[in-house]
């Protein structure tokens, strides 16, 4: 029952998200030896103004 | 100090959310023997296009 | 597909955890109108030395 | 590599968020003895209608 | 900067975890068009006595 | 009611954790204009064998 929660910058298209969950589910099943039905993935879009690395919001990086 | 974080599909009404947090808090206190004031609940609405089960986004399931 | 993640102080017995997930699942299904099979619950035990309220770890409260 | 995930009520200005991530990163590095580049912070705005304390949503508190 | 948090049943070997993070990072970069250095993955082992599906802990399923 | 969840490598002493939650709570209150009692912090120790950056577990980095 792997549960995979992913934070990524907002802006990905539905097609990219679809390909992403397909690929992640496939690799998870291959490596962890589980059934696809057991894999849950939740995607969370994050704004660049809500993510900081090194103390700087990505919306302010140059 | 139980902390309960809930992901659910978006679309629930304020009335349903109110009833949900009341019920979950009540049952948490009853079973875990804690005070209501100790129970924190955070609800997160998730779009069907951001949740995949079995490698398929719920927005694409038929 | 509600996903419920719960942080609680460590120390609950298996019997209490069993009763807790039964009660939370039942109430979730009743209020959100979903099937029990759709409800996933993950419990995380937290040490009092890893949880702070008001700037004080619970392991240090008197 | 501390990862810091913060839930707060929505409504903070970009300036407050910027000051917040700066301060949290600075204190994290000072106390945990790590480099700023190692600190990741994700902010999540939460509506008062999605956060309950004591079984009552903050949108309904008086 | 995708951040990927994974809950899985405890018991995977270090070799399996290594292969898992390699595969997930590779697919994430391929699909989301990002650099490997940008991908952070945190694995959390979950006991079967701390995960419930359908109101039943996995430690009690038959 | 800020909720702050922190993942860090295991191994910090209780003294460091105490100083950390004090500092984070103080700065949170100063910048977000909230009361200390409103700040909840949960610390989660992560093994180097459960955290990967750039596709490599920290337990395997040289």
pLDDT tens track for A10-48:
999 999 999 999 999 999 999 999 999 999 999 999 999
Q: How many CA atoms lie within 13 A of E50 on its CB side?
A: 20
Paired with B57 in beta bridges are B52
| Strand bridging mode A3-9 / E3-9 | antiparallel
| Pick from E3, E7, E58: CB nearest A2 | E7
Q: Which residues pair with D9 in a beta bridge?
A: D46
**CATH number, span E3-51:** 3.30.429.10
pLDDT the model gives residue E1: 80
- In this structure, what are the phi and psi dihedrals at residue A2, rounded to the nearest 5 degrees? -65, 140
With H, G, I as helix, E, B as strand and everything else as coil, classify residue D52.
strand
- Listed in sequence order, the residues at least 6 apart from E17 whose beta carbon sits closer than 8 Å to its beta carbon are E43, F49, F50, F57
Task: For residue range F10-41, list pLDDT tens digits in order.
Answer: 999 999 999 999 999 999 999 999 999 999 99
What does the buried/exposed string (b/e) look like for A15-54 if buried means 16 or more CB atoms within 10 Å of the residue's CB? eebbbbbbbbbebbbebbebeeebbbbbbbebeeebbbbe
Among all residues of chain A, which has the CA nearest to that of E6? A4
**What topology does CATH give the domain A3-54?**
Macrophage Migration Inhibitory Factor (3.30.429)
ipTM for the complex shown: 0.97
The contact set of E with C (CB < 8 A) is 7, 46, 49-57, 59-60
The CATH classification number of C3-52 equals 3.30.429.10
Distance from first CA to last CA of chain A, Å, rounded?
Answer: 41
The answer to whether the Cβ–Cβ distance between F52 and E14 falls below 8 Å is: no
Residue from the list D17, D22, D25 with its beta carbon closest to the beta carbon of A49: D17
A2 classed as catalytic = yes
Chain B residue set in contact with D, beta carbons under 8 Å: 14, 17-18, 21-22, 25-26, 36-37, 39-45
User: Global pTM?
Assistant: 0.97
Using pLDDT thresholds of 50, 70 and 90, give the confidence band for residue F62. confident
β-sheet with A56-57: strand ranges across: A56-57, A51-53, D40-46, D3-9, F3-9, F40-46, C51-53, C56-57
Given an 8 Å threshold on Cβ–Cβ distance, is F57 in contact with E21? yes
**What chain F residue is nearest to E7 in terms of C-alpha separation?**
F50
Sequence spans of domains, chain D: 3-60
- What is d(CA A39, CA C25) in angstroms, rounded to the nearest whole number? 20
Report the pLDDT value the prediction gives residue D1, as an integer from 0 to 100: 80
Calculate the average pLDDT of chain B.
97
Give chain B's contact residues with F (Cβ, < 8 Å).
1, 3, 40, 42
Q: Give B42's contacts (C-beta < 8 A, 6+ positions apart).
A: B3, B4, B5, B6, D7, D46, D50, D51, D52, F3
CB atoms inside a 10 Å sphere around CB D23: 19
Q: Which fold has domain F3-60?
A: Macrophage Migration Inhibitory Factor (3.30.429)
Yes or no: say if F50 and E45 are a contact pair by the CB < 8 Å rule.
Answer: yes
Tokens of F27: 């700065």
Q: B18-48 pLDDT, tens per residue?
A: 999 999 999 999 999 999 999 999 999 999 9
Tokens matching residue E41: 């993955």
pLDDT at F1 > cutoff 90: no
What H or E segment, with its residue span, contains residue D6? Answer: strand D3-9
The answer to whether B and E touch (≥3 CB pairs < 8 Å) is no
How many Å apart are CA C53 and CA E40, to the nearest integer? 28
Q: Which of A19, A24, A43 to mutate to test the interface with B (most CBs of B within 10 A)?
A: A43
């Amino acid at each position: 029952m792997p549960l995979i929660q992913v934070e990524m910058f907002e802006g990905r298209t539905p097609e990219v998200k679809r390909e992403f969950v397909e690929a992640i589910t496939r690799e998870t099943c291959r490596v962890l030896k589980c059934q696809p039905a057991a894999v849950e993935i939740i995607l969370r879009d994050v704004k660049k103004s809500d993510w900081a690395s090194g103390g700087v919001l990505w919306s302010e990086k140059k």
